[in-house]
Amino acid sequence: MSKYFLLAFLFVGCCALNDRPIVGILFQEVDDEVKEYGESYLMSAYVTWVEESGGRVVPIKVGEDEAYYKDLFDKINGVLLPGGAVRIDNSAYEVAAEYLYKYAIKANDNGDYFPIWGTCLGMEELTFLTAKKDIMTQCSSENITVPLNFVRDFKESKLYKNAPEDAIRILKNEHVTSNFHTNCITPKVHENNYKLSNFYKILSTNIDRHGIEFVSSMEAYDYPIYGLQFHPEKNNFMFSTNKNIPHTYHAIRISQYFSNFFINETRKNNHKFPTIKEEAAALINNLRTIMLPPPAMHEDYFLPINKKSATETKSSFNDQFSLGTKKESLVSIAGAKSVAIWMGIAISCIVVIVLVLKIKTSHGKNTSEYVKLKSDETFLFGSNEQRSSLA
């Protein structure tokens, strides 16, 4: 009897869920709304959405080298790819997501259960990483709330099979899903893309303002990877004065359901930091938020971007620079500056030649005329100090 008790004890011990899960949430390059505050940002609503279900959060920086992402991946229990406005290709957000996606696939293939959650842009990024190309369709679903149209066998999915009946009823019949996207994946595009249709199962769809059907929730067949085109975190934590976000009891209930589901998924691996001290130092609680004024009315975290790593980091799938456009901009600025300097030198040389010729041709003229010439030169070309500042 004691032998069986010991075996049972060992089984429970080795398979116990992690009660201190840490989620890495990816930052992204700033957009126009917040560019005055920093180089990369994360809306705090994603953090509180994770924390409300017992998770903790570590920020994942963009623009770092691969070693940074691999090291952090081994210490966290899940990844959240948030919504936003950056490109799903050729951005620092894409490069970082690509590394994390690659590590998650490999880990799960090796029996190490590691979940990824994508919200809005995050879901779109997941389709890009799987399909290896941008297959987005333009749609009009900005600032609308809609009930979900579930597919026939949605209850067989990991995401919905254990959902309470009242939660399913709310999702089916009430306007509790906040949509803020102008791009989407259509079921037809999903079906016609072999890589995508064999990797992800569509769980629900919706219709945009112009009658375009789009995928609103999906999950991978063989991996704990999930995508929502809508924003569950906004229901609980976003109170913008110019956005259509539901804050009813039922809307909060739905937000909480998705949060609980994802955090429970992150409890299924035992990745951890080597020491409590290192863990504490890595948590996002060490950062301060900035409250954006109305109509935004939300708090954001901001971090600098490692410029050197960002311009040198290459995409592991398409072998191109992650910040190619930014690098080209820097080169263009440097080139323009060089041209300005050489133009200044050329102008100075012309002035000297003109002066010499004038002096030779007006040898007999008085000094006042020479002074007038210098005055004209300053009027036409600016002073030496002015030319230097232009260069």
**DSSP per residue, 60-80:** E-SS--HHHHHHHHTT-SEEE
Q: Which tokens in the block code for residue 158? A: 């990991």
Element counts in the chain: helices (H) and strands (E): 15, 14
Is position 231 annotated as part of the catalytic site? yes
Tell me which residue of 239, 351, 220 sits closest to 291, measured CA to CA: 239
What does the alpha-carbon distance between residue 199 and residue 220 come to, in Å, rounded to a whole number? 5
What does the alpha-carbon distance between residue 253 and residue 242 come to, in Å, rounded to a whole number? 23
Among all chains, which residue has been given the structure tokens 């990816």?
26
Q: In this structure, what is the dihedral angle of CA atoms 58, 59, 65, 71, given to the nearest 10 degrees?
A: 0
Is position 120 annotated as part of the catalytic site? yes
Q: Is the peptide bond before 295 cis (omega within 30 degrees of 0)?
A: yes
What does the alpha-carbon distance between residue 288 and residue 290 come to, in Å, rounded to a whole number? 7
Q: Per the residue annotation, which of 120, 190, 250, 298 is the catalytic one?
A: 120
Asked if residue 63 lies in contact with residue 309, where contact means CB atoms within 8 angstroms, the answer is yes
* DSSP classification of residue 322: T
For 222, other C-beta atoms within 10 Å of its C-beta total: 10
Q: Per the residue annotation, which of 181, 190, 231, 271 is the catalytic one?
A: 231
Asked if residue 214 lies in contact with residue 139, where contact means CB atoms within 8 angstroms, the answer is yes
One-letter amino acid of 119: T
Strand partners for 218: 202, 227
Q: Which residues are catalytic?
A: 120, 231
